[in-house]
Structure 1
Amino acid sequence: MKIFAVGLNYDSHNREMKRVFEASEPVIFMKPDTALLRNGNPFFLPDFSSEIHYETELVLKINRLGKNIAEKFAHRYYDEITVGIDFTARDLQRKQKELGLPWEIAKGFDNSAPVGEFISIKKIPDINNINFRLDINEKTVQQGNSCDLIYSFDKIIAYISRFFTLKIGDLVFTGTPAGIGGVSINDRLEGYIENKKLLDFKIK
């Protein structure tokens, strides 16, 4: 099982991070399967970072084998969706970037990819108009809508499949909007698609 993620896929987040994004193709990075955190299990703050940030994202689950998928057929390759968190060790990422080094350790560390309960895409009236949000301690801290994606779900799937064979069970984190921030011990994170809670876990 592979975990793909798309960076810089919301203009609001790019402005928030003071980035000028003019790339003509999606920005893709990966997390190992050991990054996956499921079933509401707690996230334990690691000892190698003092600046762990949440990035709330819509996450697709791949349902069939695919390679070099045409964009017009990409919708056939995912049938479930949820809310996930791309945890980022921001201090490590900043340090690695300043040194011109890869920053996998800031994105792909153990349990850095919590995901909620998956639901059928068929339950979504319009996948190009999905409201999602993250609440921390019952206060909404981040919200977005799939209509604001720079690269749509289908464009992402088609692009990834040019380089990687997609397999059943692979996950695709599709990008985060503005509103990222830090987490602390005892925080409770709850993620929603529309008003349905799909993600619920605590920080330890």
Structure 2
Amino acid sequence: MSQNTYLWNPAPVYSLPVRGSDARLPVKRIFCVGRNYHAHAVEMGRPVDKSTMSPFYFLKDASTLVESGATVPYPTGTANYHYEMELVVAIGKPGFRVAEADAHTLIYGYAAGLDMTRRDLQLVAREQGRPWDLGKNFEKSAVCTEIVPAADLGVLEAGAINLQVNGQTKQTSDLSMLIWNIREIIADLSRFYHLEPGDLIYTGTPEGVGAVSSGDRITGHIDQVGDIELTIGSAE
């Protein structure tokens, strides 16, 4: 039997630890929900009316993933590097055009995540009607904790979510404040994609986003899910 010969080594499998297991969850895609808390939408100058608007999404490559507790370099090309604390949903079963009532059956588990953002580049792209990739989809921009199996938690409808920089609280809200809840997000996203095991969904961030600098330490917490940590290193 012949074997494929590659010009260089294929990309590694990116994965996350799973609480209570020696196995790791391989990550396929990272979907992010934009403006999914009212107060954050307002602070970004783009209020959301759920009655007339639908969720929107952007993607990060699996290669942007970094585990909680890491130190990451201050990224190149920006002078306004922001944190965004988020609940992450890990998909464990395939699904396409899933009914909202059945959406929870696709969930494998949850994690706490940071959607790190080059805000200045994102805003320039937004105002010019261009894609957000330079502001959102860059190396080490998707920070994530271990996965907590949903069997231990059910469907999360509420729970405190908060973030601190150097011990000072910057973001504080509750999962009940999501504009589109977990079932709604999964059902809507499955209208456009065949969701697959290993897909991650960053569900949006509360108000209070802001800039960090080299030497800053970010910590965050989501009730029942866990704690996240990130240290900002020197620029490369």
Give your verdict on TM over 0.5: yes
Q: 1:42 aligns with which of 71, 74, 80?
A: 71
Equivalent residues of 1:116, 1:191 under 8 A apart: no
Of the structure 1 ranges 93-102 and 49-58, higher mean CA displacement relative to structure 2 is found in 93-102
Q: How many equivalent residue pairs?
A: 204
Aligned pairs for 1:50-129 within 5 A = 50-124=79-153, 127-129=156-158
2:203 paired with 1:174: yes
2:49 corresponds to 1:19:
no
Change (3 A) 1:56 1:101: same
Give deviations 1:81-134, integer Å, cap 9, x for gaps: 111111111111122223222121110111111011221234437611121111
Query: Whole-Å Cα distance in 2 between the matches of residues 95 and 123 of structure 1?
Result: 42
**Aligned-partner residue type, residue 142 of structure 2:** A
Distance (whole Å) between structure 2 residues aligned to residue 134 and residue 197 of structure 1: 12
TM-score by length of 2: 0.81
Distance 1:122 1:138 in 2: 32
Deviation, 1:196, is 6.5
Distance 2:147 2:229 in 1: 13
Provide the rounded CA distance (Å) in 2 between the counterparts of 1:133 and 1:39. 15
Match of 1:163 in 2: 192
Q: 1:138-168 deviations in whole A, cap 9, x for unaligned?
A: 2221122111111010110011111111111
Q: Is contact 2:38-2:47 (8 Å) kept? A: no
Within the candidate set 160, 180, 190, 1:151 is matched to 180
Gap change, CA 1:196 and 1:166, over 3 Å in 2: closer
How has the CA–CA distance of structure 1 residues 97 and 196 changed in structure 2, closer, same or farther, with 3 Å as cutoff?
closer
Letter in 1 for 2:37: Y
Percentage of pairs with the same residue: 36
Taking the aligned partners of 1:166 and 1:123, their CA distance within structure 2 comes to 22
Q: How far apart in 2 are the matches of 1:124 and 1:16?
A: 31
Per the TM alignment, residue 197 of structure 1 is displaced from its structure 2 partner at its CA by 4.1
Larger relative contact order (CA 8 Å, sep ≥ 6): 1
Contact 1:124/1:130 (CA < 8 Å) preserved in 2? no
Report the Cα distance in structure 2 between the residues aligned to 1:195 and 1:9, rounded to whole angstroms.
21
Could you tell me which runs of 5 or more consecutive residues in structure 2 were left unpaired when the two chains were aligned. Answer: 1-27
Are the counterparts in 2 of residues 135 and 190 from structure 1 also a CA contact under 8 Å? Answer: yes
| Cα distance in structure 1, aligned partners of 2:197 and 2:75 | 30
Cα drift, residue 63 of structure 1: 0.6
Residue of structure 2 in register with 1:142 after alignment: 171
Aligned-residue RMSD, C-alpha: 1.7
Counterpart-to-counterpart distance in 1, 2:129 and 2:117: 18
Query: Aligned-pair distance for 1:194?
Result: 2.2
TM-score normalized by the length of structure 1: 0.93
Whole-angstrom CA distance in 1 between matches of 2:82 and 2:150: 28
1:192 aligned residue: 221
Question: Where does residue 13 of structure 2 map in the other structure?
Answer: none
Unaligned runs of 5+ in 1: none
SS of residue paired to 2:198: coil
Moved over 4 A (4+): none
Q: Over residues 19-75 of structure 1, what are the superposed CA-to-partner deviations in whole Å (9 max), with x where a residue is unaligned?
A: 232343111111111211115221211121110111111000001111111111000
2:43 counterpart letter in structure 1: E
